[in-house]
Amino acid sequence: MPSSAAPDRHRAALLALLGWLLCSAAMLWLYRSNIATLGFRDPDDAMRLVQIRDWIGGQAFWDVSQHRVNPPLGGPMHWSRIVDLPVAALILLFTPLFGTLQAEIWACAIVPLLLLGGLTAATFVATRRMAGVIPALLAVALLLTAPSILVQFSPLRIDHHGWQILLATLALCGAVDDRPMRGGIIAALALALWLQISSESLPYVALFGATFALRHWIARDQAPRFFAFALTLGFAALPLLGLLRGPNAAFARHCDALSSVYVWPLVALAITTLAAARLIGAATAPRRFAIAAIGGGAALATFALTGGPCLSGDPFAALGPLAYKLWYLQVMEGRPIWEQSLSMGGVILLPPLLGVGAALLAARAAQGEARMRWFTLALLLLGTMGVAMLVMRALSVAHVFALPGIAWLLIALLRRIQASRHMLARVAGSVALVVLTPAGLSALWASVASSPKPPETAGADCRAAASLLPLRALPPATLFAPLDLGPDILARTGHSVIGTAHHRNAVGITTVIAGFVDPPDQARAIITRTRATYLIACESLSEFRVYARTNPAGLAALLAKDAPPAWLEPIPMTGPVRLYRIRPE
């Protein structure tokens, strides 16, 4: 870019920064009541704070299990300390100034907004490299007004989803970097970090790898991007795994997290790609194809050797039929598009579809390497859209990837509209472009496709701080509580629980579900085998309603009718949470 364009770029970057600050201030204001009470939107955020507290309190860095879940065994977890680091750092920084509680509140409110700042910068850079400064600013504006993306960066959203979106966008920056080797390294490092956080990164690793291999095959000048990506990914993932999980992690086998199952195929990709490039050379397209095929083939062959039961592709299959049916299949954010409502299906698909079409139009209007960058974006966007169709919560990544193309399209349409001779057409056309924003598309489709749902009793929020406050008067005990209530109990009290909605604790999950679904006599046998001394019920939890509907003669259904069996002694308590003492047999 000419040096004369640098001041415009710098001013645009400052405007993007200002937009992020304004958006952050607005969200702090909108979420102020939840922030004051640590009212987490999702139980995973509460569990994340519990994990951070345990670490600050002396739990080992490599031990991420929850010892107050299903005692005395404990609840195994697979979460990464990468997500814990900034929250823990701010808590330690703020505690001497404000005290522990206020330090936690500030840290949990600020960290998601800092991640949003990183996403804003990454979106600006990626779009500027493809379309220029003005579309980059518009892409930032679209980002900061897209509920489907902002929901993962709201204050208190301290779980790993914001990290995933940010790292995916950093990888996109590497994909469209005009310096191929630097781009490959950036994309690989972003995905290597994402691999440490969640196995949900695996399809994106394959997507970026295949895209870079394709570009390397087509054009020799893109070979450094593919080589840098393969080598950096393989040689970074293994030491990061040892650093974050311990030296034995490279030989342990887990299907739901980075382990020997996945890391050694990446190492094989790096070694064989390097060896093939040295032996064959990248002078011609057939040779470049052979290098990519050898590297990819070695990775697949290694995965066939290390995969074992993970080759089935479903890490949740070991849950058992009861937990699989009544917990896993009920988590709609993890289900495919054909199990979603019509309105949600449109929200998932429309922005990325528009983004793909816009990227192809932009490619048609561009020349040379600029055209190839748009084709690269279209290919990556198709892949991320495919992932979102299989797992609904992945829609945010696809929506971010759609922003550069949508921004380019809106500006192109606005220029045509403003060229009209008729003022009414200029005004009406400009206003109508709002419909083509991700927020506008989603809102319009939701208003058209939404169907009325049968009313459900809303009730009070059992997860709220005021609802769980009376439990703190009890001496420390183990509570038999619904899965979605468990993390908040751990975060707000000193009690233990039998299970939470985290799949490695399959025993605890199955025990909780069976205890609430089975008839009272069978439920008593299940519950008394645990160390629980109290039982918690909450009719307003959707999970609890599922249990009651599953077996109208089960324990949950009786408790919903306020007809507890004789072995449960009601304990008076204000609020929506019902508390029972479990009488021993």
Arithmetic mean of pLDDT, 257-277: 94
Residues 381, 273 share a domain: no
User: Does 558 fall in a domain?
Assistant: yes
Q: What pLDDT, in 10s, does the model give residues 252-266? A: 888 888 889 999 999
Confidence of residue 454 (pLDDT cuts 50, 70, 90): low
* Residues 445 and 469 occupy one common structural domain: no
Give yes or no: residues 341 and 432 share one domain. yes
- Is pLDDT of 458 > 60? no
Amino acid at 130: M
In a shared domain, residues 338 and 442:
yes
Q: First vs last Cα of the chain: how many Å apart?
A: 79
pLDDT, position 456: 52
Confidence at 443, pLDDT banded by 50, 70, 90: confident
> What are the structure tokens assigned to 281, written together?
């050379």
Question: What value does the mean pLDDT take over residues 302-325?
Answer: 82
Q: Which residues contact 412 (CB under 8 A, 6 or more apart)?
A: 361, 365
Judge whether residue 323 has pLDDT over 90: no
Determine what percent of the chain is predicted with pLDDT higher than 70: 96
The answer to whether residue 430 scores a pLDDT higher than 80 is no
579, 493 contact by CB (below 8 A) = no
Instruction: Give the residues across from 497 on adjacent strands.
Output: 69, 479
Distance CA 354, CA 351 (A): 5
Determine the pLDDT at residue 207.
97
Return all residues near 542 (Cβ < 8 A) that are at least 6 apart.
Answer: 484
Look-up of token digits 């895209």: 211
Q: Is 78 within 8 Å of 65 (Cβ atoms)? A: no
In a shared domain, residues 421 and 342: yes
Counting every residue written for the chain, the total comes to: 585
Task: Give the pLDDT band (50/70/90) at residue 568.
Answer: very high
* Residue 3 confidence class, pLDDT cut points 50, 70, 90: very low
**Packing angle between helix 133-143 and helix 100-131, nearest 10 degrees?**
140
Is the pLDDT assigned to residue 319 strictly greater than 90?
no
Distance from C-alpha of 325 to C-alpha of 455, rounded to nearest angstrom: 24
Domain shared by 485 and 550, yes or no: yes
User: What's the pLDDT band for 449 if we cut at 50, 70, 90?
Assistant: confident
Q: Which residues, listed in sequence order, are joined to residue 570 by a DSSP beta bridge?
A: 580
**What is the Cα–Cα distance from 170 to 158, expressed in whole angstroms?**
19
Show which of 422, 449, 476 is a domain's final residue.
449
pLDDT at 2: 42
In the predicted model, is pLDDT for residue 455 greater than 80? no
Give the pLDDT confidence of 160-193 residue by residue, as tens digits.
Answer: 999 999 999 999 999 999 999 999 999 999 999 9
Give residue 317's pLDDT band: very low, low, confident or very high (50, 70, 90): low
Share of residues in the chain with pLDDT > 90 (%): 76
Label the pairing between strands 534-537 and 578-582: antiparallel
Say whether both 337 and 283 belong to one domain: no
Q: What pLDDT, on a 0 to 100 scale, did the predictor assign at position 4?
A: 45
84 pLDDT higher than 70: yes
CA neighbours closer than 13 Å in the CB half-sphere of residue 306: 23
Written as one string, the DSSP assignment of 193-206 is HHHHH-GGGHHHHH
Asked if residue 551 and residue 480 are part of one domain, the reply reads yes
CB 359 within 8 A of CB 381: yes
Q: What is the CATH number of the domain that holds 504?
A: 3.40.50
Query: Considering the domain boundaries, does residue 69 fall inside one?
Result: no
What does the pLDDT look like over 326-358, one tens digit per residue?
888 888 888 899 999 898 999 999 999 999 999
Characterize 57-66 residue by residue with b for buried, 16 or more Cβ atoms within 10 angstroms of its Cβ, and e for exposed.
Answer: eebeeeebbb
Phi and psi angles of residue 379, each rounded to the nearest 5 degrees, phi first: -65, -45
Side chain identity at residue 91, one-letter code = I
Contact 296, 452 (CB under 8 A): no
- Domain stop point among 419, 449, 479: 449
pTM over 0.85, yes/no: yes
pLDDT of residue 7: 53
Do 436 and 476 have their domain in common? Answer: no
pLDDT in the model for residue 585:
73
User: What token pair was written down for 207?
Assistant: 């997507």
pLDDT higher than threshold 80 for residue 6: no
Q: Helix/strand/coil (H, E, C) string of 23-74?
A: HHHHHHHHCHHHHHHCCCCCHHHHHHHHHHHHHHCCCCCCCCCECCECCCCC
Helix (H, G, I), strand (E, B) or coil at 499: coil
Distance CA 128, CA 238 (A): 33
Q: Is the pLDDT of residue 431 over 90?
A: no
Residue 392 domain boundaries? 328-449
Judge contact between 530 and 480, C-beta under 8 A: yes
pLDDT in tens, 376-415: 999 999 999 999 999 999 999 999 999 999 999 999 998 8
In a domain, 290, yes or no: yes
**Residue 282 domain-assigned (yes or no):** yes
DSSP state of 552: T
Q: Is the pLDDT of residue 315 over 50?
A: yes
Out of 388, 423, 449, pick the residue that ends a domain.
449
Number of domains in the chain: 3
Mean pLDDT calculated for residue range 261-284? 94
Cα–Cα distance, 239 to 444 (Å, whole number): 47
pLDDT(121) > 80: yes
Where is 569: in which H helix or E strand?
Answer: strand 568-571
**Is there a domain that residue 259 lies in?**
yes
Least confident interval from 71-75, 374-378, 492-496, 547-551: 71-75
Per residue in 218-241, pLDDT tens? Answer: 999 999 999 999 999 999 999 999
Q: Are residues 547 and 501 in the same domain?
A: yes
Question: Stretch 439-464: mean pLDDT, rounded?
Answer: 75
Is the bond preceding residue 72 a cis peptide, omega within 30 degrees? yes
Distance of CA 220 to the CA centre of its chain: 35
The reply to whether 277 and 354 lie within a common domain is no
Give the per-residue pLDDT at 547. 94
Q: What is the pLDDT of residues 498-525, one digit of tens each?
A: 999 998 899 999 999 999 999 999 999 9
71 in a structural domain: no
305 and 224 share a domain? yes
Where residue 1 falls among pLDDT bands split at 50, 70, 90? Answer: very low
The rounded distance, in Å, linking the Cα atoms of 74 and 366 is 58
pLDDT at residue 312, rounded to an integer: 74
Q: Is residue 86, in this structure, part of any structural domain at all? A: no
Q: What is the mean pLDDT of residues 428-438?
A: 80
DSSP-assigned states of every residue in 302-338: HHHHH-GGGGGS-TTGGG-HHHHHHTGGG-GGGS-GG
- Other residues' Cβ atoms within 10 Å of the Cβ of residue 395: 25
What is the SS3 assignment for 341? coil
Whether residue 109 is contained in a domain is answered as no
Which two tokens mark 436? Answer: 């083509």
